[in-house]
Structure 1
Amino acid sequence: MSFETLKLAAAIAVLSSLLPIQAQAKVDAKEAARLGQDLTPTGAIKAGDSALGIPEWKGGLSSPPASYKAGGFETDPFADQKPILVIDASNYKQYQDKLSDGVKALFAAYPNTFKIPVYPTERTYAAPKEVYENTAKNAVNAELVEGGNGFTNAYGGIPFPIPKSGLEAIWNHIARWRGLQSKDISSVASVYENGSVSSYREMNEFFQNYYAPGKDASSIGNILFKYMNRVLPPSRFAGEIYLVHETINQVKEPRMAWTYMSGQRRVRRAPTVGYDTPDTGRLYDDNDMFNGAPDRFTWKIVGVKPYYVPYNNYKMGEQGLKYEDVLHRSHVNPDVTRWEMHRVWVVEADLKPGERHVYSKRRLYLDEDSWAALMAESYDNRGNLWRVSLAFSKEAYQVPTMAYENIAYLDMTTRDYVLTALRTQEKTPKIYDMPIPPDDYWSPANLRRIGTK
Structure 2
Amino acid sequence: MKFLTSRTKKTIGIVLSAALLPGIAMAKLTAEEEAKLGINDTELTPMGAVRAGNAEGTIPAWNSEPMPIPAGGTVDSLADPFADEKPLFTITAQNYTEHMDKLTAGQIGLFKQYPDSYKMHVYPTHRTGAYDKWVYDATMAQAKNVEMCDEYATESKVCLKNNIAGGGIPFPIPKSGAEAAYNHFFSFKGLANDRMINGALIDSNGNRTDVIIRQRTISPYWFSADSEIRSVKWYNRDGIAMLCDSWQVEKPPRSSGLVFGGCNYVNDFDFQTYLYVPGQRRVRKAPEIGFHDSPSFASDGQRTVASRWMHYFGGKHTRFDYAKPVRKEIYVAYNNYKLGNKDLPFDEIFGEEHINPEVVRYELHRVWVLDSTLKEGQRHLYKRHTAYFDEDTWLGVAFEAYDAKDRLWRVGEQYNAFIPGPNVAGPLGDMQVDLINGRYTTFPYWQYQAGKEMGFGGQKVVSKEEDIGFNIDIFTPQGLRKFGRR
TM-score by length of 1: 0.91
1:42 lines up with 2:55 in the alignment: no
After superposing on structure 2, the runs of 4+ consecutive aligned residues of structure 1 that deviate more than 6 Å are: none
Secondary structure, aligned partner of 2:179: helix
1:56 lines up with 2:61 in the alignment: yes
In the alignment, structure 1 segments of 5+ residues that lack a partner are: 1-17
Report the residue type matching 1:94 in the other structure: E
Which residue of the partner structure matches residue 26 of structure 2? Answer: 24
Whether the 8 Å CA contact 2:52–2:62 is kept in 1: the answer is yes
Which residue of the partner structure matches residue 153 of structure 1? Answer: 162
Whether the 8 Å CA contact 2:210–2:251 is kept in 1: the answer is no
Matches of 2:432 and 2:197 in 1, distance apart? 16
| Distance apart, 1:438 and its partner CA | 6.2
Whether the 8 Å CA contact 2:76–2:342 is kept in 1: the answer is no
Report the residue type matching 2:369 in the other structure: V
Which residue of the partner structure matches residue 220 of structure 2? Answer: 209
1:422 lines up with 2:446 in the alignment: yes
Whether the 8 Å CA contact 2:159–2:268 is kept in 1: the answer is yes
Which residue of the partner structure matches residue 392 of structure 1? Answer: 415
1:188 lines up with 2:199 in the alignment: yes
Which stretch shows the higher mean deviation, 194-203 or 337-346?
Answer: 194-203
1:190-248: per-residue Cα shift (whole Å, max 9, x none)? 112221112221111110111013359x9752411111100114430110111121122
Matches of 1:249 and 1:52 in 2, distance apart? 43
Matches of 2:273 and 2:352 in 1, distance apart? 35
Which residue of the partner structure matches residue 4 of structure 1? Answer: none
Tell me: CA distance 1:60–1:362, structure 2 relative to 1, closer, same or farther (3 Å): farther
Secondary structure, aligned partner of 1:264: coil
Report the residue type matching 2:162 in the other structure: N
1:87-119: per-residue Cα shift (whole Å, max 9, x none)? 101111000000000000100111111100001
Q: How does 1:74-153 map to 2 (within 5 A)?
A: 74-145=78-149, 146-147=151-152, 149-153=158-162
Which residue of the partner structure matches residue 361 of structure 2? Answer: 338
Report the residue type matching 1:284 in the other structure: V
Whether the 8 Å CA contact 1:395–1:402 is kept in 2: the answer is yes
Which of these residues, 232, 244, 248, is aligned with residue 262 of structure 2?
244
Q: How does 1:408-447 map to 2 (within 5 A)?
A: 408-420=431-443, 421-423=445-447, 424=449, 426-427=451-452, 428-433=457-462, 434-435=467-468, 440-447=473-480
| Distance apart, 1:25 and its partner CA | 2.8
Secondary structure, aligned partner of 1:255: strand
Matches of 1:23 and 1:101 in 2, distance apart? 28
1:232 lines up with 2:250 in the alignment: yes
Report the residue type matching 1:42 in the other structure: M
| Distance apart, 1:39 and its partner CA | 0.6
Matches of 1:267 and 1:33 in 2, distance apart? 51
Matches of 2:263 and 2:134 in 1, distance apart? 24
1:311-362: per-residue Cα shift (whole Å, max 9, x none)? 0001122111111111111111000000000001100110000011010000
Which residue of the partner structure matches residue 7 of structure 2? Answer: none
Matches of 1:21 and 1:94 in 2, distance apart? 34
Which of these residues, 286, 290, 303, is aligned with residue 270 of structure 1?
286
TM-score by length of 2: 0.85
For the aligned residue pairs, the C-alpha RMSD in angstroms reads: 2.0
- Across the two proteins, how many residue pairs are aligned to each other? 432
Whether the 8 Å CA contact 2:261–2:273 is kept in 1: the answer is yes
Matches of 1:366 and 1:215 in 2, distance apart? 32
| Distance apart, 1:175 and its partner CA | 1.2
Whether the 8 Å CA contact 2:271–2:287 is kept in 1: the answer is no
Secondary structure, aligned partner of 1:320: coil
Sequence identity (%): 35
1:295 lines up with 2:318 in the alignment: yes
Matches of 2:225 and 2:134 in 1, distance apart? 11
Whether the 8 Å CA contact 2:71–2:79 is kept in 1: the answer is no
Which stretch shows the higher mean deviation, 233-242 or 84-93?
Answer: 233-242
